[in-house]
Amino acid sequence: MREISKQDKLLNKILPPQRMKDCPTYRRSRFVIPFEYSGRSFLFNLLTKQCFELDAPFNEDAVFSRTDIEGDPALKTLAEGYFLFPEDSDENKFYLSLSTALRAYFRQNGYTTYTVLPTFACNARCVYCYEEGSKPTHMTEETADRTVDFILRTKKKDAPILLSWFGGEPLLGEKIIDRITNGLREKGVEFYSTIITNGSLINGRIIKKMTDEWRIGTVQISIDGLEDDYIRRKRYYSYDNTFEKVLENINALAEAGINVNLRCNIDTQNAEDIPKVIGMLAGKLTKKEKITLYFSALNEVRASEDNYRINELIEETKPLIAEAGFKSNPRPRPGLSFRVFRCMADRITANVVIGPSGELSPCLESNADTVYGNITEGVTDKTVFGRYAQTGPVHEKCADCPYLPDCTAFANCPVVDRHCREIRKENITRFLLDLAERSDKADAPLESELNPEERDIKEKMNEIIE
């Protein structure tokens, strides 16, 4: 039996080898994925990230007694590595205990990311906007100053911070962005910024501010298909060749050295147009090495029967993105590190959303029921805050899922994927075949080079300052 990938480094520090207990039987852990490569059998533990090439095929339904395990060195190694699990034990409870321990390890004293909404107002009325119906509240100068004070009080000591500007359309709050960034510079705070915008209000003056004052390294802009789709979906209050102007603004951003994440929101009405959209953008955009193009299914599609089909369409067109010269996001894969956090809301001690009135929320898709405090008093509703700070509970529909460790113990996300198991199975299968292939070329078992926190920070900073 040959080890081809090692247990996650950090998990290895807190998780001792499994001790044998007097229980009726052991069987393969639900989180262990059997697979074959080049006629050989492998077992991958999705929880611990350890993987073995076996000397003989493994009977997935086999049941072992303690005597069986202790009398077979290979079975004992598998049992000690949690590949075999007592039949009378709760694997979800075991997973949650590990997740809780690692979340506590990474719990931060101080935020590193602040998502600031200068305004809820927008010059468009996107059909998919989750803020539809909300009042177009604007942040006041007083609230902007209190936001600076809040950042100074709550930022992680001796660490740079990331400001992510969102809205509404954040460029309608240009003066507020000026006031907050000026205030932070005056206080000597090291910061970087990103901004999510529809791109219609960008001009040369704004780009100069982005590079010189706001320290923006990445801009996200949504282009929701071909021009007719774009007009129908964006529903600008005033449309004046806006589609072409936004494309020109993307070129100007890239020429200024700013990375552009170009997002195309997809549903059943425009999914088949993905190749045409790629071709159109390839003809109109120039400095493609600064542009990452990706397609994303809208939330209502992800929750529908079309989830699997559209996800496959998106994956199948990624080679077209590369051929067109754009950067592309790789297919999701589990990797070789234990997944501690899913998103910004799941990591509530490191990330915070500040609304136009100074309210604190965990997520961009938050609402009045998820506000847990304000910039003056901090956390005022410990019950709401606690829902996001805790691990679990596991959703009922996920209770028997073998891919749970690749997903999350975070139970508060409003986004639902109808065919999540099928999609994850395909992604993990591709990853495992690649893992086996890479192991044949390596002299030693593969392992993660960075723990989850180090990896997340490195990727975030690389994206910002690239």
Please tell me the distance from the alpha carbon of residue 332 to that of residue 314, in angstroms, as a whole number: 12
Give the Cβ contact number of residue 40 at 10 Å.
Answer: 15
Tell me, what amino acid is at 316? E
Cβ pair 40, 3 in contact under 8 A = no
Residue 450 in this model has a pLDDT that exceeds 90: no
- Give the pLDDT confidence of 95-114 residue by residue, as tens digits: 999 998 888 888 878 999 99
- Give the pLDDT confidence of 339-353 residue by residue, as tens digits: 888 888 888 989 999
Note whether residue 407 is domain-resident: no
Lowest mean pLDDT among 55-64, 252-261, 383-392: 383-392
Note whether residue 58 is domain-resident: yes
Which residues make Cβ contacts (< 8 Å) with residue 426, sequence separation at least 6?
none
Please tell me the distance from the alpha carbon of residue 346 to that of residue 410, in angstroms, as a whole number: 6
Note whether residue 74 is domain-resident: yes
Exposure string over 326-365, b if 16+ CB within 10 A, otherwise e: bbbeeebebebbbbbbeebbbbbbbbbbbbbbbbbbbbbe
Q: How far is CA 26 from CA 50, 72, 73, 161, 387, in A?
A: 19, 14, 15, 48, 34
Q: Mean of the pLDDT values across residues 52-71?
A: 94
- Give the pLDDT confidence of 124-177 residue by residue, as tens digits: 999 888 766 667 899 999 999 999 999 999 999 989 999 999 999 999 999 999
pLDDT at residue 133, rounded to an integer: 61
Note whether residue 176 is domain-resident: no
Q: Report the first-to-last Cα separation within the chain, whole angstroms.
A: 43
Cβ pair 158, 182 in contact under 8 A = no
pLDDT at residue 459, rounded to an integer: 44
Q: Mean of the pLDDT values across residues 176-184?
A: 98
Which among 438, 454, 455, 457 is positioned nearest to 446, based on CA atoms? 438
Note whether residue 194 is domain-resident: no
Please tell me the distance from the alpha carbon of residue 198 to that of residue 126, in angstroms, as a whole number: 10
Sheet arrangement for strand 32-37 = 2-5, 51-53, 40-45, 32-37
**Helix, strand, or coil here: 105?**
helix
* SS3 track for 200-243: CCCCHHHHHHHHHCCCEEEEEEECCCCHHHHHHHHCCCCCCCHH
Please tell me the distance from the alpha carbon of residue 203 to that of residue 219, in angstroms, as a whole number: 13
- Give the pLDDT confidence of 412-445 residue by residue, as tens digits: 777 888 999 999 999 999 999 999 999 999 888 8
pLDDT at residue 461, rounded to an integer: 38
Q: Dihedral of CA 231/234/236/240: which sign?
A: negative
Give the Cβ contact number of residue 173 at 10 Å.
Answer: 24
Cβ pair 272, 159 in contact under 8 A = no
Q: Which two tokens stand for residue 225?
A: 């298909």
Which among 185, 203, 219, 295 is positioned nearest to 464, based on CA atoms? 219
From the centroid of its chain, how far is CA 195? 17
- Give the pLDDT confidence of 207-236 residue by residue, as tens digits: 999 999 999 999 999 998 999 999 999 999
Note whether residue 72 is domain-resident: yes
**Helix, strand, or coil here: 21?**
coil
**Helix, strand, or coil here: 89?**
coil
Q: Which domain holds residue 41?
A: 2-89+432-445
Overall domain count for the chain: 1
pLDDT at residue 462, rounded to an integer: 41
Report residue 17's pLDDT band, with 50, 70 and 90 as the boundaries. very high
Residue 366 in this model has a pLDDT that exceeds 80: no
- Give the pLDDT confidence of 50-59 residue by residue, as tens digits: 999 999 999 9
Please tell me the distance from the alpha carbon of residue 457 to that of residue 350, in angstroms, as a whole number: 11
Residue 181 in this model has a pLDDT that exceeds 50: yes
Note whether residue 180 is domain-resident: no
Give the Cβ contact number of residue 432 at 10 Å.
Answer: 22
Please tell me the distance from the alpha carbon of residue 135 to that of residue 435, in angstroms, as a whole number: 50
User: What does the mean pLDDT of the chain come to?
Assistant: 91
The rounded percent of the chain whose pLDDT value lies above 70 is 95
Strands (E), 334-453: 351-354, 359-361, 373-374, 378-379
The DSSP string of 432-453 is HHHHHHHHHH-SS-B--SS-HH
Report residue 449's pLDDT band, with 50, 70 and 90 as the boundaries. low
Tokens 């425009």 belong to 270
Which residues are bridge partners to 193 per DSSP? Answer: 163, 216
Please tell me the distance from the alpha carbon of residue 114 to that of residue 133, in angstroms, as a whole number: 25
Residue 245 in this model has a pLDDT that exceeds 90: yes
Note whether residue 10 is domain-resident: yes
- Give the pLDDT confidence of 294-321 residue by residue, as tens digits: 999 998 999 999 999 999 999 999 999 9
